[in-house]
Amino acid sequence: MVIREAIINGVLAPASKIPSSRSLASSLKLSRTTISTALDQLFSEGFLITRQGDGTYIADLKFTSQSSKNLDGHVFPASQAKNPPSRRLEGTPLKSSNIVFSGNQLLPGFVDHSLFPYGVWNKLYKKHSLQIGDALKQFTSGNGFFPLCQSIARHLAISRGINVRPEQVFITHGASQSVSLIAKTVSQPGDSAWIENPGYPMIAETLEMEGLKPINTEIDHHGLNPSTEQIRDSSPRLICTSTSYQFPLGYTMPISRRLKLIDIAKAKDSWLLEDDYDGEFRYKGNPIPAMFGLENNERTLYMGTFSKTLSLSLRMSFVVVPLALVESFQAIYPMLGNFSSVVSQAALAELISSGRFAKHVSNMRKIYGRRRRALEQALVGNHINHQEAFNPGGLHIVAELQGKDVTDSEIMEAISDTDISCIPLSFLYREPVRAKQGFLLGFTSCDEDKILNAVSILQSAVQQRGATLSPL
């Protein structure tokens, strides 16, 4: 609106008189109705005032033109930003927001967007955009777009061994919102949560922001491994674990450890949070069924995502809960809001129900499997049996840095001018003094030739410092 912008920018000064609606309509060549509607809006927003019997004036907004530009552009001088950030952030390292990627070679966990099913997706998206009325009718404030909940439930039964009703599925805007939804529903500020160390920083950070107290829990070759003392002395409300391919170390949790954790959860009235971030990807045999699907297991909350199978940019994840908790989650869910487009949810629902999503994932497994083998070959050559050296799952491989007085951060600094963006393993430990040195090496975001070249550059930098890389 011309008048509003003129007031914001200081062109029209406070206390300036506004011409009559008839005069404005004539000079701006607009109808008097349009002018009257605009002036009414400016009155509602507080930009104009009336003086009885004297006409309409610009209100005194009591800010300078410079400060008005700050307000309009949401940029404030440093001198005005004296208040500290939320106290929820105090003592929270927020590591997950500090990762900077310089390129896409060896980048762990990111999909190759050239494999995205653009043709099918565009057709489905256009179709449901034209049928938006139908989609809106099927959106529920308690779960999300219900046909998507139905599609996910059917897909999980086939791919992850999880048999649930659609109302047990809740659509979220990413893993952080999934964790937040779970924390708000089953815990209280001040409760404790066992978390993997090393582990995914976002989970600990989100729990801390929800007021929970993360307790670092060791990882062995079978995954999360709480000590005898920890089991005896601690009663967590949440026990957080990644079972199919532990992040970041890549171990698969066997059935014995899963049953042990379920027994602990039952004994302590805790809830297991199973982060199945890449369970679809296994390159030998079938994907490992999720812990959620075990019989007589009503203590597990399951987190899934489409960031690894389709695109992080879709911002589409989901939570699956036991039937006994459905009403509680439906009560909390509307408070968080669902920021995923209903059209995107409708398109995804049909992509899954039509079978094209499963076909897409199958194709990705084949391509990623070849790239993984190229990375394995680059790391170990023909000297050891690949089947014994590597867990055939996940979207990255961990290579441990072996050598005295050399750190993974130093190596990253040495290759900072390259297109390599692997993640230092030590970064993912919450206790730096106990951190292993190494790298998470991704193989999904570039082809085999680039993988081989990137590993060669990385190994050269490592060898120049008298160290070696070996699979963990």
The predicted model gives 7-13 an average pLDDT of 70
Instruction: Determine the pLDDT at residue 133.
Output: 78
**pLDDT for residue 463:** 93
Give the CA angle between residues 153, 172, 365 to the nearest 5°: 60
Amino acid at 296: N
Tokens of 314: 């879709």
pLDDT of residue 284: 87
- Please classify residue 384 by burial: count the beta carbons closer than 10 Å to its beta carbon, then call 0-12 exposed, 13-18 middle and 19+ buried: middle
Average pLDDT, rounded, for the chain: 85
pLDDT of residue 339: 66
- Distance in angstroms (rounded) separating the CA atoms of residues 334 and 371: 41
Supply the pLDDT for residue 43. Answer: 65
Task: Report how far residue 31's alpha carbon sits from residue 368's, in angstroms, rounded to the nearest whole number.
Answer: 63
pLDDT at residue 90 in the model = 52
Residue 395 pLDDT > 90? yes
Return the number of other C-beta atoms located less than 10 Å from residue 209's C-beta.
17
What is the C-alpha radius of gyration for the chain, rounded to an integer number of angstroms? 28
Pick the closest to residue 303 from 429, 235, 391, 206 (CA basis): 206
Among candidates 356, 299, 344, which has minimal Cα distance to 325? 299
Percent of the chain scored above 90 by pLDDT? Answer: 60
Averaged pLDDT for residues 368-391: 77
pLDDT interval class at 75 (50, 70, 90):
very low
Query: How much is the pLDDT for 92?
Result: 47
| Per-residue pLDDT at 319 | 97
The per-residue pLDDT for range 157-187, each reduced to its tens digit, is: 999 999 999 999 999 999 999 999 999 999 9
Residues in the chain: 472
Q: Does the N-terminal peptide bond of residue 334 adopt cis geometry, omega within 30 degrees of 0?
A: no
Please check the confidence at residue 101 and state whether its pLDDT lies above 60: no
- What are the structural domains, with CATH classification, of the chain? 1-83 (1.10.10.10), 116-358 (3.40.640.10), 364-471 (3.90.1150.10)
> Model confidence at 322, in pLDDT bands (50, 70, 90)?
very high
* Of 195-204, 216-225, 389-398, the least confident: 389-398
pLDDT at 89 over 70: no
**Would you state the pLDDT for residue 17?**
82
User: Which are the contacts of 187, defined by CB distance < 8 A and separation ≥ 6?
Assistant: 193, 210, 212, 237, 238, 271
List of residues 6+ apart from 172 with CB closer than 8 A: 144, 178, 181, 317, 318, 319, 336, 338, 340
Query: Among candidates 281, 206, 209, 278, which has minimal Cα distance to 240?
Result: 206
d(CA 53, CA 46): 19
| Range name among 31-40, 91-100, 210-219 with the lowest pLDDT average | 91-100
**pLDDT score for 76:** 37
Q: What is the structure's pLDDT at 98?
A: 47
Q: 76 vs 19, which has greater pLDDT?
A: 19
Question: Measuring CA to CA, how many Å separate 286 from each of 159, 319, 348, 389, 421?
Answer: 9, 23, 24, 19, 30
Compare 279 and 155 and report the one with higher pLDDT. Answer: 155
Average pLDDT over residues 273-277: 96
